[in-house]
Amino acid sequence: MIRFEGEFSFSGDKSVTQRAILLGGVAQGETVICGAAQGKDAQTALSCISALGAEVKHLGETLVIKGAPRLKSAVSLDCGNSATCMRLLTGLLSGKGIEATLFGDGSLSRRPMARVAEPLTRLGARIETELGKPPIYISPAFLTGGEIALSIPSAQVKSALMLAGLDAKNGVFVVENHPTRDHTERMLPLFGAPVSVTKTEQGKRIFTQKCGLKGTEIDVAGDLSSAAYFMALGALKGRVLCKNVGVNPTRTGIFKAFKKLGVRFSLSNERTVSGEPRADVLVEKSELKAVKITAEEIPLMIDELPLIAILCLFANGESTVSGASELKEKESDRLSGTVRLIRALGGEAEETTDGWRIRGDTRLVGGDVPTALIGGDHRLCMTAAIALLSSEKGGMLSGVNACNVSFPEFFEKLKSAGAGVE
Ligand code: S3P
């Protein structure tokens, strides 16, 4: 591909959509979600709330959820590939007085769940796991509440604890010393649940309290994590305008990486809708410089790191990423998967204990990427596509259905923009 240019919009943010669906599912009355995410993870959240007793209607692009006034007393919930769904539901259901079993697909079954089960248990919940992995078994319990300091920077863990606070006698304080995405903090007040956030020396302390939720209307901005793939093509190959994209500052670590890399980009039409900032983002072809990305920057760009690694291949020197061992705990081990991908295409990268060393300015020849390399991981699949499109010869990418988890329109969008996808 010589040049890539175009104007794009994206379906709704996956993190925001999943939160809106789960909260809508237990809220009293109707919740209307406009511009919801289209991927399998959003469908998973919808089937979980249906299993709990909520009613879901699709009105064109709009979702209407009638929350379950009384949840089913015993449920088995298939969380598919989605750790967000499993971890948030564990917190949300832990004080609802029901029996629930939460299970997932092969990838989710390997992911760590003690990180939610253990602190929730300290709040009074009765939760069991299979040696820290799914399934998760929740039994009725009386939540007293209390204060928990997050042991890892994780928005999923933070959110699970905040949601448990809605059923805890004394409420729940969560102490966060490293910022992570704050969609739950922003959304709960829209459902009528007060959230109080106070600054601490190192970060913040969030308080949620016993409270019923009321249905609301939420308009979801385009998913920045999906748009990022198109932005990367803009930076490497031309000019891309991504319209109506969520630019919540706890998600825009990628913009910080862009600045360091020397990517030319600008934001326009900035506004806030349903408590979340959004903007149009223009990214233009740029000369890239090698970067050093360190631990404190990681949580705000966690899902974009494999893509950032590909940009580093085109920078003028060696880039390093450290403090990113959480990438091993994602839908697949993205730390080793990214290195295998880069090497399969003729690039040079090395895995360190908690990150990568990536050689820039080498020839990215291209080559075939087999299904096993992607390991069913949606982000590695889309990262591989961008790497191939930016390589000299391209190659055959297998296992492309993986993108359906978050961005089913990905390949169609590339194709219709003339990106060289057949
Ligand atoms: C998410 C939080 C992040 C992110 C995931 C979605 C969320 O995970 O990687 O894709 O919606 O809260 P962690 O909170 O575990 O880092």
Q: What are 346-388's pLDDT values in tens digits?
A: 999 999 999 999 999 888 999 999 999 998 999 999 999 999 9
Q: Which helix (H) or strand (E) holds 336?
A: helix 334-344
For 14-209, CATH gives: 3.65.10.10
Pocket lined around ligand 1, Cβ cut-off 6 Å: 15, 84, 154-156, 159, 180-181, 302-303, 326
Mean pLDDT for the chain? Answer: 97
Domain edges within the chain: 14-209, 222-416
Rg for the chain (alpha carbons), in Å? 21
CATH number for domain 222-416, candidates 3.65.10.10, 2.20.25.570, 3.40.50.300, 2.60.40.1930: 3.65.10.10
pTM here is: 0.98
Whether residue 323 contacts residue 355, with contact meaning beta carbons closer than 8 Å, is answered with: yes
Q: Please report the atom of ligand 1 found closest to the CA of residue 330.
A: 9
Residue 193 CA, ligand 1 centroid: distance in Å:
22
Residue 15 CA, ligand 1 centroid: distance in Å:
8
pLDDT tens across 39-56, in order? 999 999 999 999 999 999
pLDDT tens across 78-90, in order? 999 999 999 999 9
Mean pLDDT on 97-106: 98
- pLDDT of the residue at 144: 98
Instruction: Report the C-alpha gap between 120 and 134 in whole angstroms.
Output: 15
- pLDDT of the residue at 61: 81
Residue 1 has pLDDT above 70, yes or no: no
Q: Please report the atom of ligand 1 found closest to the CA of residue 154.
A: 14
Count CA atoms within 13 Å of residue 323 on its CB side. Answer: 14
Residue 64 has pLDDT above 90, yes or no: yes
- pLDDT of the residue at 220: 98
Whether residue 214 contacts residue 244, with contact meaning beta carbons closer than 8 Å, is answered with: no
Those residues whose C-beta lies under 8 Å from the C-beta of residue 161, and which sit 6 or more positions away, are 91, 116, 119, 120, 123, 148, 150, 172, 174
Residue 126 CA, ligand 1 centroid: distance in Å:
24
DSSP3 helix / strand / coil % (the chain, rounded to 5): 40, 25, 35
pLDDT tens across 292-336, in order? 999 999 999 999 999 999 999 999 999 999 999 999 999 999 999
At what angle are helices 253-261 and 224-237 packed, to 10 degrees?
10
Mean pLDDT on 64-78: 96
Residue 314 CA, ligand 1 centroid: distance in Å:
28
Mean pLDDT on 215-225: 98
Topology alike, domains 14-209 and 222-416: yes
Give the active site residue among 303, 361, 368, 377. 303
- pLDDT of the residue at 135: 98
For this structure, is 333 an active site residue? no
At what angle are helices 334-344 and 305-312 packed, to 10 degrees?
30
